[in-house]
């Protein structure tokens, strides 16, 4: 990897940052280049994707919910290898934002764990790497998630939004960001409200992997042929999580019992019911918005599922659109977000605030590793 500018130039002005995201769906690593000063989006660059193999997914899945041990070490090795392979394809990059892979998330008890070695990645790439974005937020009483909202605020300004809107990310877990672009800064009170809405693609993926040996419900074809089991849906919505006020976050497997709720259903009915649970969780979450958003822009893999999108359109009282409708890339938005956050960490700008994670005060969270040095706190 060749740097775009000298190190001294990173202190101010525009930076070419490369962000990488490996989400809870365990499908692979997204990487995307963003040009930014840490406040405004100045331009989008190249992007790429490196899927996990079936064997790599099994290693990662075996480590979910674990905090230490051989399974965690094996997962970390998979994450490091995949990221080095993918990120080494890029040139003319000043800075890397490396999220790593979340294996366990329990902010109220043990904390949060994202595996991946930012020091090793920095040495291998020859570029500064910002990583471990969530720990500082959790240490200060925050949920540590979601972290994309500050970038969503920048996206709203980039598309010249004038009225409040929402970004809905449907990955393994769903999360919603309510953005009021009338505020000057994302950390301003009332500018952002963000929280996890509930499980999204993870339960459907896990069910279909176990039953049919397929990674996901492509184009919603399996759910399309099924009927929603309303009794299971009602039990799902009775979970205490939905009564909690935001900000709030979930671990990927917090709703693992959902599979049990549909255990006696056929494949199509089970997929339809789990998909309806995702949409219902979003509808419940929308009630927390300070005022109805003018539109919901959907990002993440869930937007490719027409059954899920139709369920959202029926249950929400505003237009529901993929983010491509406003010129953004829904496959790469989270990778772009960590490029953006990396620049903010480098410059000491906040990356989360009380409205996004419940942290006590705005915080800039992350560690910075530089070639030839060990990491330093941000």
Query: Tens of pLDDT along 40-85?
Result: 999 999 999 999 999 999 999 999 999 999 999 999 999 999 999 9
Dist CA 32 CA 239 (whole Å) = 36
Dist CA 297 CA 135 (whole Å) = 28
* Residues 6+ away with beta carbon under 8 Å from 335: 19, 20, 21, 30, 31, 32, 47
Residue 17 near residue 128 (C-beta atoms within 8 A): no
Q: Is the pLDDT confidence value at 178 over 90?
A: yes
| Mean pLDDT of all residues belonging to the chain | 94
What structural domains and CATH numbers belong to the chain? 7-143+332-377 (3.30.420.40), 160-326 (3.30.420.40)
pLDDT band at 254 (very low <50, low <70, confident <90, very high): confident
pLDDT band at 5 (very low <50, low <70, confident <90, very high): low
Q: Is the pLDDT confidence value at 265 over 60?
A: yes
pLDDT band at 257 (very low <50, low <70, confident <90, very high): confident
Residue 327 near residue 43 (C-beta atoms within 8 A): no
Percent of the chain's residues with pLDDT above 90: 89
Q: Is the pLDDT confidence value at 7 over 70?
A: no
pLDDT band at 251 (very low <50, low <70, confident <90, very high): confident
- Given this model, what pLDDT does residue 4 score? 63
Q: What is the pTM of this model?
A: 0.93
Dist CA 184 CA 352 (whole Å) = 15
């Amino acid at each position: 990897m060749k740097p775009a500018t000298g190190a001294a130039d990173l202190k101010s002005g525009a930076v070419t940052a490369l962000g990488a995201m490996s989400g809870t769906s365990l499908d692979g690593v997204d990487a995307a280049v963003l040009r930014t000063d840490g406040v405004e989006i100045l331009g989008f660059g190249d992007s790429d994707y490196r899927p996990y193999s079936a064997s790599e997914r099994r290693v990662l899945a075996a480590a979910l919910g674990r905090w230490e041990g051989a399974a965690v070490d094996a997962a970390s090795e998979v994450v490091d290898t995949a990221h080095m392979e993918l990120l080494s394809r890029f040139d003319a990059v000043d800075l890397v934002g490396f999220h790593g892979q979340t294996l366990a998330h329990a902010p109220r008890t043990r904390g949060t764990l994202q595996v991946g070695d930012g020091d090793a990645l920095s040495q291998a790439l020859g570029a500064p790497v910002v990583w471990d974005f969530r720990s500082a937020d959790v240490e200060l009483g925050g949920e540590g998630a979601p972290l994309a909202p500050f970038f969503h605020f920048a996206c709203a300004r980039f598309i010249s939004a004038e009225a409040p809107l929402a970004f809905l990310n449907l990955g393994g877990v769903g999360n919603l960001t309510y953005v009021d672009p009338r505020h000057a800064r994302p950390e301003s009170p009332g500018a952002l409200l963000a929280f996890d809405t509930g499980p999204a693609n993870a339960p459907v993926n896990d069910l279909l992997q176990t039953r049919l040996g397929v990674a996901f419900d492509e184009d919603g074809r399996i759910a399309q042929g099924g009927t929603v089991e309303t009794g299971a849906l009602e039990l799902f919505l009775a979970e205490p999580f939905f009564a909690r006020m935001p900000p709030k976050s979930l671990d990927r497997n917090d709703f693992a019992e959902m599979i049990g709720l549909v255990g006696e259903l056929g494949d199509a009915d089970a997929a339809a019911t789990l998909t309806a649970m995702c949409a219902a969780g979003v509808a419940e979450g929308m009630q927390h918005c300070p005022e109805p958003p003018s539109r919901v822009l959907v990002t993440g893999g869930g937007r490719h599922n027409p059954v899920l999108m139709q369920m959202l359109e029926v249950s929400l009282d505003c237009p529901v659109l993929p983010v491509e409708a406003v010129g953004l890339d829904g496959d790469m938005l989270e990778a772009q977000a960590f490029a953006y956050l990396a620049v903010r960490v480098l410059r000491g700008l906040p990356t989360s605030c009380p409205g996004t994670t419940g942290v006590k005060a705005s915080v800039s969270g992350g560690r910075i590793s530089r070639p030839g040095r060990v990491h330093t706190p941000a």
